[in-house]
Amino acid sequence: MTAPDARRLRGTSLAVLIVTAAAVIRGVFAVFITLPPDETYYWEWSRHLAGGYFDHPPAIAVLIRFGTDLLGVTPLGVRLGSVCAGWAASLCLVMLARRLAGGRAAVVAAIALCCMPLAAAGLVLATPDAPLLFAFTLALLALDHAISEAPGSRESTLWWLAAGVALGLSLVSKYNAVLLPLGVCIACVVVPQLRRHLRTAGPYAATIIALFIFLPVIAWNARHQWASFRFQLDHGFSSGHGTPFSREMSLIGGQVLLVSPILFVLFAIVVVQGIRSRDPRRVLPAVVSATVFLFFCIGALRHPAEANWQAPAYVPAIALLAAHVTSVRSQAWRRWLAAGGALGALMSAGVYVQSVVPVLPVTARDDPTARGTGWDALAVRMQNLAGQETARTGAHVWLGGDRYQEASEIAFHLPSHPPTFSLNVASRPNQYDLWPGFPDRAHRGDDLMLAFEMQSADSVGPVIRRLRPFFDTARMLDVVDLRRGSEVRTRRRVWVLAGWHGSWPPHDFTP
């Protein structure tokens, strides 16, 4: 083994050790961080495996089912698949950086990724971003292999096919994965060295494979009047509140918080340099990164964009930054990278600490890390109230709320994990609209107990007024505080609608 090969191997081994240690840390925190409503909502999906869901494709449901089958319905069980997917994504990124600039670049990429709040938080939570980032990174790694080989060669074609598999996995994770082939197509059209690959079978075979893997999602949407596609198009492109300037500033601010201010600037610089590079292996990831980022910047002119939507843009940016820093003899770049990594690590540590033991001067109501607190108390209180109602009247009591947040959290925290309902009378449509609801499962005379957020002095609210004519009585039973420690984060009114008549008001949503 030559000295460069030995250094490359040592660097790669160290990088693998770093990302593995980071994955173990994320797994530990996954045990202690309470599940916010989005995660319990996706957990409900995992109990009804399907080719698609109202909000997203099915990959996250499959990962959660994998974890809960192994570890039970626990926070770690729900998150195990995402933690594993995040670890696999980290390994693919290390391999990509190693291919671009050697073992030192692999180490730099590992450190940069592990220091980013995006990875510290995003690769703990069970959300569609975890499988997306794995498949997206795997696709970039396969593409780098494909364009490194002679166009049309057997090796290049096989790597294009592997990229097609990874793209298919990306598409069944989250719909914004479609920006990956868009970026690749732009790069291949613009760069002469890459354009030659368009005259071979590889890219087209990869597209066919990806579409084949994505076919169950298409079929599910076709059976449900394209509900998921329509929801995401409306969610991403409809006009929203605020001005275009305020939405752009909010978007940029969210990115800065996800990756740290210094790393954000460094990523922008290396992506621009990559686009201007003469090396097609750097142009392609740079164009993919810019495509993802600019797409949502343009979209924010009409509609607010959530910060995590641009997460895939940072995968190629990290590899490019690692390759650049290890390729230039610049102490300034190394100092800025060290400062960015230190700041990012400090921010990530703050997220972890705040999630377990709040130390920052942020109220529980305004703290995003507290969104999962208090739901267990609500679930237990509703179960006790339901038991009292059943003992008093003998009727069966069903539980739920008007939003998926209440319905999924109640189901998760009760030991029996009963079926619950999200009525969506005064809230947006969601997956519960596609499952059997209360009128499909209940019998005449049954009771329905609901939890609602206290948002105004109106103690009744539109949901009770809408449903009251279909029951004998409607009573507010209690007000339950959702607490983080001793601090009240929010409150829920608990109502019981007793004695169902057997009919139900028409619902505006048509799947």
Are residues 123 and 255 part of one domain? yes
For residue 447, report the phi and psi dihedrals to the nearest 5 degrees: -105, 155
Are residues 351 and 286 part of one domain? yes
Are residues 409 and 349 part of one domain? no
End residue of a domain, out of 321, 356, 391: 356
Are residues 440 and 473 part of one domain? yes
Are residues 48 and 9 part of one domain? yes
End residue of a domain, out of 307, 324, 356: 356
Q: Which residue has the higher pLDDT, 121 or 177?
A: 177
Total number of domains in the chain: 2
Contact 122/130 with Cβ under 8 angstroms?
A: yes
As separate numbers, helices (DSSP H) first and strands (DSSP E) second, the chain gives 21, 5
CA angle, 288 as apex, 286 and 291 as ends, to 5°? 110
Flag whether pLDDT at 5 surpasses 70.
no
In a domain, 366, yes or no: no
pLDDT at 122: 85
CA distances from 74 to 35, 122, 224, 387 (A): 9, 18, 31, 24
Q: What percent of the chain has pLDDT over 70?
A: 95
Flag whether pLDDT at 215 surpasses 90.
yes
Flag whether pLDDT at 3 surpasses 60.
no
Q: Which residue has the higher pLDDT, 66 or 122?
A: 66
pLDDT at 433: 95
Are residues 331 and 382 part of one domain? no
Q: How confident is the model at residue 239 (pLDDT cuts 50, 70, 90)?
A: low
Are residues 259 and 228 part of one domain? yes
In a domain, 209, yes or no: yes
Range of the domain at 488: 375-500
User: Stretch 48-63: mean pLDDT, rounded?
Assistant: 97
End residue of a domain, out of 328, 356, 384: 356
pLDDT at 470: 97
Are residues 485 and 382 part of one domain? yes
Tokens at residue 359, please?
Answer: 């130390």
Are residues 482 and 344 part of one domain? no
In a domain, 51, yes or no: yes
In a domain, 368, yes or no: no
Question: Please, what is the end-to-end C-alpha distance for the chain in angstroms?
Answer: 62
User: Stretch 89-97: mean pLDDT, rounded?
Assistant: 97
In a domain, 50, yes or no: yes
Which of 24-28's residues contact partners 24+ apart within 8 Å by CB, and which partners?
A: 26/83, 26/86, 26/120, 26/123, 26/124, 27/76, 27/79, 27/80, 27/83
Distance CA 11, CA 182 (A): 33
In a domain, 506, yes or no: no
Of 67-71, 213-217, 424-428, the range with the lowest mean pLDDT is 424-428
Query: Exposed, middle or buried: residue 415 (CB in 10 Å: 0-12, 13-18, 19+)?
Result: exposed
Flag whether pLDDT at 406 surpasses 90.
yes
What tens digit of pLDDT does each residue of 262-298 get?
999 999 999 999 999 999 999 999 999 999 999 999 8
Are residues 68 and 95 part of one domain? yes
Alpha helices in 149-201, H assignment, sequence order: 154-171, 179-190, 192-195
User: Stretch 377-398: mean pLDDT, rounded?
Assistant: 96
In a domain, 215, yes or no: yes
Are residues 301 and 441 part of one domain? no
Beta bridge partner(s), residue 476: 495
At 273, which helix (H) or strand (E)?
A: helix 261-276
Flag whether pLDDT at 370 surpasses 70.
yes
Spell out a b/e string for 247-272, using b for 16 or more CB atoms within 10 Å of the CB, else e.
bbebbeebbeebbbbbbbebbeebbe
pLDDT at 85: 97
Are residues 384 and 347 part of one domain? no
Mean pLDDT of the chain: 92
In a domain, 431, yes or no: yes
Q: Which residue has the higher pLDDT, 339 or 357?
A: 339
